[in-house]
Amino acid sequence: MQKSSIQYLGGIDNKDKGVTLTGSATLLKVQGEYQTLSVLIDYGMFQGGLKDSDINQLVDEEALNANCIVLTHAHLDHCGRLPLLVKEGYKNPIFMTDLTKKQIFHILSDHVKIVRYEIDAVSSQNTKKSNLYKRALYIKDMCKRLKENNLSDEDKQKFKSGLLKKLQGKNQSEGLKEAEGLLSAAGIENNGDIEKILQDLPVLFYDEKDIDAMMKLVQKLEIGGEKVLKDYMYITSLDDDDLDKTLQAVKQGYSQPINVDTKLLIPLKTKLNQRIGVTEKAIDENLRITKENNALQEELIEAFNFITEVGQETAREIYDRYMEKLTEYNIESLDDIEKAGEQLYYIKFDLDTLYNTRNQFGGVEIDYQKDIIDAVKLRFLDAGHIEGSIQALITVVTEKIDNCLRSKNPVPLPKKRATHKNLLFTGDLGRFKDPNLAGTPEISDLKLDYLQMETTYAGRVHPEKQESINDFFNAIHKAEGKVVIPCFSMQRTQEILVLLVEQLLEAKNDIPVLKKKSAKLKRIEDELKNLQGGNLEKKRIPARQQAKIDRVLGLKNELKKEIKELKSRCFQYDIILDSPLSTEITNIYTTNLFEKYRLLSNQVQKELLGKPVVDVLLNQSDHNKLYTEKRRNKKEIILSSGGMCQGGSVLNHLKENLGNTQSTIIFVGYCPDNTRGGYIKNKKSIEIEGGLYEIYANVVNINGFSGHLDEEEIFHYFEKSSFARGAKVVLNHGTESRHILANKISEEIFGCRSSVKVLVPSLNDTIEFKL
């Protein structure tokens, strides 16, 4: 029999290719004698930002030719490249649960919108970059011409005033960059270099002494005969050479008369006077240029000192970056700049492609068993990760493979018991200890021949969820003004909504009790007033009456304490949902069967709470109403996407609230340090869409809301699963730490003598096996 295989096309981090653990994609090939059946499990997007743009354009040939696709859940890193496959010609079915089918279309079209927005943002960045390139080109050109000493006066002036202006300009960092660029491009590292440049600049060589010598010469010229020639200097021609030699002698102190031929005396005097005039002008010019050069020298020295102060290292670095960009994009001219802008980003797929893709979604429900072919059966197990998520169990009936996978004339099967091979692809798995809205992962009761397991949180244990929930509500109770919760649109938003609404329901039961006790307090206070009435006239109170007053006073204090506690429990708040995608997804959940999600429908809210408490923001004017002078500091809870504050409607709320000491920002999900959310947690100011925002709001970080199982839960999964002899276990969708986990699982779960192998494949690896 031919060998079947599994290939790992994504979901594995690979430093060489620069991809993160996103982009889940696994290809199963069931090999028959005559034909192959290939099943693609997930085809997700690599989500490492712009740098993954290229890899997300590529479609694996094998994926394109798959006989069907099974989608585990609607997260973008599992479904994001499906439209691209369809665009490239994939026409076979895509299986998923009904709920995933409902979500996926919203997720993907939301993605198209975000990409459009990104393209706009990138193109405006490109304009900015173009300006940078243009300036770099200018500097490069100026420095080259400065070195070659062929700058026109105008250019020289521009160059110098530009440098000076930048240095004194309002924007110091801009000026610094410019000056650094100029100096570094001109090869200036120290003061010596500055002098060298100045030496190359034009300087005339006349000075005052030349004029002096010429005046003297005019006075000393005498008409003389041949007799005196032996004793005195004698000029016989109007040649410049002759004249220069004589001038040199006078300059060096020759003080005797100088004889000259009769007919030469007048022309010589005229020539010398003309030369005096020219030299005077030259000296003026000389002075002017020297002054100019000195000024340039001063500026260069000033710039140099300025840069030395902030560090030549930084200067060099910034300049190198400048030049690196020019080289990287091959920029020699302005045309090249335009081209470089175009290369930076392009759209992955459009809405038309998306509609075509939707026609191919063949949703099946959880636990639905589908025969891909008679010999290969697909079953969905609950994954408990997000609503609608599943693990894909593929069961291969070994004896039937050859029979099914041939083009014509199936032969009758031999009459013996069929052998099944069970292959399980978990996709992302939810938690056992603290299940979210999607519930708990289901563990297969079959003996597994192959298990492919997500190990995103290898090496980590999540904090207890209940503690996180308590911290969450503490932060809300303490808040004075608006509370902004950056939230992932899918699952996390719904989970937080349910928590908040449940809390409101609890409060609802306390409200009548509070009312009763408040009325009772008022009665007691009235009674107390009556009893103490006489005290106003400072008369002595009889002992019996005093005892009664003390008793009522005790009652009052006790009641007050109870009311205070009740009031904190009965805390009422309005919930604002501003997240277009999660509003769509939430609608899907409200029509779902689970009672919990129905809490969110307006009708149920009215029934249970008397009024709807979740207000959905639809447009800019709804947004503006939240921040009128009167309402700005009203305590309201705003749930808004996205969770890491990289983009989405949450940016609008951050702009309004970050600078407000009354506001609170609560992070309830995964948010690494290098995202905007991470910066908000750790820094004092943050840039949003070109503006800088100081952070005065109270920022709270709550861990423990993960939708992925942790290492303890991964072990739980293994302890409860059973494996066939020679089974293969593959850990993917995780970082480097899954290598350590693989060893631990080998040793602690299977033991060193086990026939079960735990593998950690690299990107694009293929493993082969017999079915």
In the complex, the smallest distance separating the C-beta of residue 716 from Zn ion, rounded to whole angstroms, is 19
In the complex, the smallest distance separating the C-beta of residue 103 from Zn ion, rounded to whole angstroms, is 12
In the complex, the smallest distance separating the C-beta of residue 689 from Zn ion, rounded to whole angstroms, is 28
- Kindly calculate the radius of gyration of the chain based on its CA atoms and give it in whole angstroms: 42
In the complex, the smallest distance separating the C-beta of residue 487 from Zn ion, rounded to whole angstroms, is 16
Closest CA to 80 of 348, 345, 346, 347: 348
Question: 700, exposed or middle or buried, with CB in 10 Å at 0-12, 13-18, 19+?
Answer: buried
The smaller minimum CB distance to Zn ion, of residues 646 and 746, is found at 646
With left for phi above 0 and alpha for psi between -120 and 50, is residue 159 left, alpha or beta? Answer: alpha
The smaller minimum CB distance to Zn ion, of residues 94 and 438, is found at 438
Question: Please, what's the b/e burial string for 400-436 (b: 16 or more CB within 10 A of its CB; e: otherwise)?
Answer: bbbbbbeeeeeeeeeeeeeeebbbbbbbbbbbbebeb
The smaller minimum CB distance to Zn ion, of residues 83 and 388, is found at 388
In the complex, the smallest distance separating the C-beta of residue 764 from Zn ion, rounded to whole angstroms, is 22
In the complex, the smallest distance separating the C-beta of residue 100 from Zn ion, rounded to whole angstroms, is 11
Spatial contact of 108 and 101, defined as CB atoms under 8 Å apart? no
Q: Give residues in contact with Zn ion (CB under 5 A).
A: 75, 428
The smaller minimum CB distance to Zn ion, of residues 436 and 698, is found at 436
Kindly state the tokens that stand for 536.
């106003």
Cis before 642? omega within 30: yes
| Three-state SS at 20 | coil
Spatial contact of 260 and 217, defined as CB atoms under 8 Å apart? no
In the complex, the smallest distance separating the C-beta of residue 361 from Zn ion, rounded to whole angstroms, is 18
Spatial contact of 137 and 334, defined as CB atoms under 8 Å apart? yes
What's the order of all strands across the beta sheet hosting 614-616? 614-616, 574-578, 636-640, 483-486, 664-667, 698-701
CA pseudo-torsion sign 628, 631, 633, 636: negative
Looking up tokens 């002899």, which residue turns up?
725
The smaller minimum CB distance to Zn ion, of residues 348 and 492, is found at 492
**Distance separating alpha carbons of residues 619 and 278, to the nearest angstrom:** 79
Spatial contact of 33 and 1, defined as CB atoms under 8 Å apart? yes
The smaller minimum CB distance to Zn ion, of residues 299 and 428, is found at 428
CB atoms within 10 A of CB 54: 11
The smaller minimum CB distance to Zn ion, of residues 19 and 151, is found at 19
The smaller minimum CB distance to Zn ion, of residues 118 and 428, is found at 428
Closest CA to 382 of 447, 329, 437, 449: 437
Virtual CA dihedral for 665, 668, 669, 671, nearest 10 degrees? 20
**Distance separating alpha carbons of residues 344 and 15, to the nearest angstrom:** 21
Spatial contact of 85 and 110, defined as CB atoms under 8 Å apart? no
Task: Supply the DSSP symbol for 362.
Answer: E
The smaller minimum CB distance to Zn ion, of residues 79 and 617, is found at 79
The smaller minimum CB distance to Zn ion, of residues 428 and 495, is found at 428
The smaller minimum CB distance to Zn ion, of residues 73 and 482, is found at 73
What is the phi/psi pair of residue 363, to 5°? Answer: -65, 135
In the complex, the smallest distance separating the C-beta of residue 44 from Zn ion, rounded to whole angstroms, is 9
In the complex, the smallest distance separating the C-beta of residue 734 from Zn ion, rounded to whole angstroms, is 13
In the complex, the smallest distance separating the C-beta of residue 344 from Zn ion, rounded to whole angstroms, is 29
In the complex, the smallest distance separating the C-beta of residue 758 from Zn ion, rounded to whole angstroms, is 23
The smaller minimum CB distance to Zn ion, of residues 60 and 428, is found at 428
In the complex, the smallest distance separating the C-beta of residue 390 from Zn ion, rounded to whole angstroms, is 12
In the complex, the smallest distance separating the C-beta of residue 78 from Zn ion, rounded to whole angstroms, is 6
The smaller minimum CB distance to Zn ion, of residues 388 and 648, is found at 388
**Distance separating alpha carbons of residues 483 and 468, to the nearest angstrom:** 17
How many helices (H) and strands (E) in the chain? Answer: 25, 25
